[in-house]
Amino acid sequence: MTSELSPIDKAKFVAAKQATEYVKSGMKVGLGTGSTAAWLVQCLGEMVRDEGLQIKGVPTSVRTAKLAREVGIEVITLDEARWLDVTIDGADEYDDDLNLIKGGGGAHLQEKIVATASDRMIVIADASKKVDTLGAFPLPVEVIPFGMGTTQALIEEMLIGMDVLGRTITQRMAGDTPFVSDEGNFIFDLHLKRIGEPRKLSLMLNQIPGVVDNGLFIDTCDMVIVGHSDGRVTVRDILNDATEEVRFNVLDDDNIFADVTD
């Protein structure tokens, strides 16, 4: 089965597999959205089925909730959980300070709410998501449908005074129709190329009427787990100022990877 996976999928898998080490029975776990988070949900589902892991999952999108139920994870709402032990999610970009851009899948609003309601947030990613400065990936901004043209104009005016390299704004589409979030909102993608002051930009965006929230996650992530296609996993814990490397032995059989070894 390993031979059927692309190098990027191998990297995502080992990052997700390592992240399961931080999930214990009895925990309430925020389940992210996206291709890397989907690997995590599948790994946790296997642990529920084969090892008797007992967790309650709070998904960050309709599609994550569907996958979680399919693999046997008990799904509850955030209101039912009230507070979570950990949220594990992917990222579209992260920098040295573990600031993130998220929302490539259009779920960043729920992802941010769930991550904020957790004792810790762990990001799982492949090495390509690491950047020196955020902004190469378009920044998603969720907006309500009413007056969205005015909202866009206000964003464009605000960007003039920001430390960014580009100011192009496009509405996200799903084929020939506008993309609609799980909350019924639209998404603007801001093609900024480089974001010099992500904290300031996030605050300014969220002050604009019509903006629900943006895809900048500032001071939210505590740990990043980076997978590599050769089975290496780098774990960086910003709270403890610690970095370690773990290795999975890649096998070309139905057991995608061997056990974790230090």
Note the CATH architecture for domain 139-214.
Answer: 2-Layer Sandwich (3.30)
Predicted confidence at residue 252, as pLDDT, reads 46
**CATH number, domain 2-129+219-261, options 3.30.70.3340, 3.40.50.1360, 3.40.718.10, 3.10.450.200:** 3.40.50.1360
Predicted confidence at residue 250, as pLDDT, reads 57
Predicted confidence at residue 231, as pLDDT, reads 92
Written as one string, the DSSP assignment of the chain is -GGGS-HHHHHHHHHHHHHGGG--TT-EEEE--SHHHHHHHHHHHHHHHHH----EEEESSHHHHHHHHHTT-EE--HHHHSSBSEEEE--SEE-TT--EE--TTS-HHHHHHHHHTBS-EEEEEEGGGB-SSTTSSPEEEEE-STTHHHHHHHHHHHHTTSSBS--EEEE-EETTEE---TTS-EEEEEE-S-BS-HHHHHHHHHTSTTEEEESEE-S---EEEEE-TTSEEEEEETTTTEEEEEEEEE-SSSS-EEEEE-
pLDDT < 70 regions, the chain: 1-3, 249-262
Predicted confidence at residue 4, as pLDDT, reads 79
Summarize pLDDT for 126-151 with one digit per residue, the tens.
Answer: 999 999 999 999 999 999 999 999 99
* Domain map (residue ranges) of the chain: 2-129+219-261, 139-214
Summarize pLDDT for 90-115 with one digit per residue, the tens.
Answer: 999 999 999 999 999 999 999 999 99
The catalytic residue among 46, 74, 111, 142 is: 111
Would residue 111 show up in a list of annotated catalytic residues for this protein? Answer: yes
Which pTM does this prediction carry?
Answer: 0.92
Predicted confidence at residue 50, as pLDDT, reads 97
Predicted confidence at residue 89, as pLDDT, reads 98
